[in-house]
Chains A and B, each alone.
Chain A
């Protein structure tokens, strides 16, 4: 069991998303930064898909009520374990009574605390992810708060190779360039509009959350025969809708369908970077081909596999 002493800004249980129900209007939800979730799980011997605590901007404080292993990956957060600073991207062993304080983000804004063996949570509609707006999934369908008690499913009493359970992560780039594939409705934008989108910077606005990010920058021009509205269709994670000439980046809790023209979609390999973008950050969009995007994704998945081998190497 772990007890929540302080819920932080928005801490919720997330896995890799609830799949198969978008056709019923049920959002995918799940981790904003799938790579950091997978890495944290790897460090504590979990499957990539195991649910973890996702926190944002300011993390939570938890008390361990039994022996368990944990690791935190994501942006760079201030971490105190029984008052002593500890590191991101590193597996640790906690015992009954230990207190973990996840503080403010120094870099990025989202992080994941994975616990070895995962949580004992019933799934709802095939997933344990919390859909906060809908009020279901995870722990009571809501963000965690003081007093919440979470049962651990299968915490290990020991983990092999503890010295190997740490990762060196690259610092977040200063210039946040998000690679995109144009479309599905890039034909509803003028040549000038597309050029603007791919050459100008856009600032993330405070009205941003797990559903999506509002951004502000130079107006993106629609094609002569378009006003930016379309007959509502499917919206993938990382889709960039353009409403009133400004980009809206669709994220984990986005609605399953939408009626604004989508100029481009962020590639899956860059979703982790997008997830670490916060209000006042500026971003750029860079066009790549589908083949490049898929190659980049393969590279990331191979990295995960290699790390897993490294960690488990005796």
Chain B
């Protein structure tokens, strides 16, 4: 697949390789495959690569490589990209839906004229592409939520949303990695930890991967929490 790529300088130490101007899986696939290609060079002058929805920002050391030279290298990486994701790992995210753990589930159901069971079935019924991580460490931007459960943000945001909360805001769904204020409609909570800087594997969900929400009951929720504490 040949993607039209634009190289945009971000100062003298970074350049963004832009693959399009839309949120769509094909463009995002190009971004992730490009990022992988650049990383696998293990080039001494390249510091890190940050993939986002439709572009990847490459941070480099200008004292080790000129702008024109880095563009040449990145142009090569952008050619002949695979049209499917290299890493298509699907991570299961157990979610305890509704009740005290998903206070807005009833509202989301009523707003869309369906039952709470329907919301759960639709929300957990498909894989979600992780387009990128950002906003806060470990926060996954997910794509592809079914519009049948789309619900506007709460008029009044909550002062505190528990870490692990799964919510809906407009056409998007996501998981709060940390406790924070927010206006998302909360439909459930996962006992998994998305980000722990001191853990062996600090990041649970990575960009370019897929996730699938799996409904669980309170007993399983507590068991997973207990297991996590014992690690």
Residue interface bits A286-314, CB-to-B below 8 A is 1, else 0:
00001101100110010000000000000
| B67 cross-chain contacts in A, Cβ below 8 A | 290-291, 294
- B179-231, CB < 8 A from A: 195, 197-198, 202-203, 206-207
Nearest to B35 among chain A residues (CB) is A23
Question: When chains A and B are docked, how far (Å) is the Cα of A236 from the Cα of B10?
Answer: 6
- When the two chains form the complex, which single residue of B47, B59, B66, B138 contacts A25, counting CB atoms closer than 8 Å? B138
B97 neighbours in A (Cβ, 8 Å): none
- A297–B55 touching, CB < 8 Å: no
| A residues 7-30 in Cβ contact with B at 8 Å | 19-27
Q: Which residue of B lies closest to A257 (CB)?
A: B134
Is the pair B59, A255 in contact by a Cβ cutoff of 8 Å?
Answer: no
Contact assessment for A19 and B48 in the assembled complex, using a CB-CB cutoff below 8 Å: yes
Encoded as 1 (CB less than 8 Å from any A CB) or 0, chain B from 120 to 161 comes to 000000000000111111110100000000000000000000
A24's contact among B16, B18, B23, B138, by CB below 8 Å, is which? B138
- Interface segment among A111-119, A197-205, A260-268: the answer is A260-268
CB of B199, distance to nearest CB on chain A (Å): 10
Contact of B12 among A235, A262, A293 (CB under 8 A): A293
Number of interface residues of B (CB under 8 A): 45
Shortest CB-to-CB span from A275 to chain B, Å, is 15
Interface string of A231-265 (1 = CB under 8 A from B): 11111111100000000000000011100001001
Number of A-B contacts (CB under 8 A): 140
Contacts of A181 in B (CB 8 A): 9, 11-12
Q: Does B56 contact A (CB under 8 A)?
A: yes
Alpha-carbon gap, A255 to B138, bound state (A): 12
Q: A291–B71 Cα gap in the complex (Å)?
A: 13
Prevailing SS type, chain A contact patch = mixed
Report Cα–Cα, A160/B139, bound state, in Å. Answer: 49
**Those of A173-215 within 8 Å (CB) of chain B:** 180-181, 183-185
Chain B residues whose C-beta falls within 8 Å of the C-beta of A134 in the assembled complex: 136-137, 197
**B interface footprint on A132-148 (CB within 8 Å = 1, 0 otherwise):** 00101100000000000
- Distance in Å from the Cβ of A21 to the closest Cβ of chain B? 8
Verify B137–A234 contact, CB threshold 8 A: no
Q: Are B63 and A298 in contact, with the CB atoms below 8 A? A: yes
CA distance A298 to B66 in the complex (A): 11
Where the two chains meet, the residues of B that have a C-beta atom closer than 8 Å to any C-beta of A are 8-14, 16, 18, 21-23, 35, 47-57, 59, 62-63, 66-67, 132-139, 141, 195, 197-198, 202-203, 206-207
Please list the residues of chain A having a beta carbon within 8 angstroms of any beta carbon in chain B: 19-27, 124-125, 134, 136-137, 180-181, 183-185, 231-239, 255-257, 262, 265-269, 290-291, 293-294, 297-298, 301
A-B contact pairs, 7 of them (CB 8 A): A125-B202, A180-B11, A184-B8, A231-B22, A232-B134, A232-B141, A233-B54
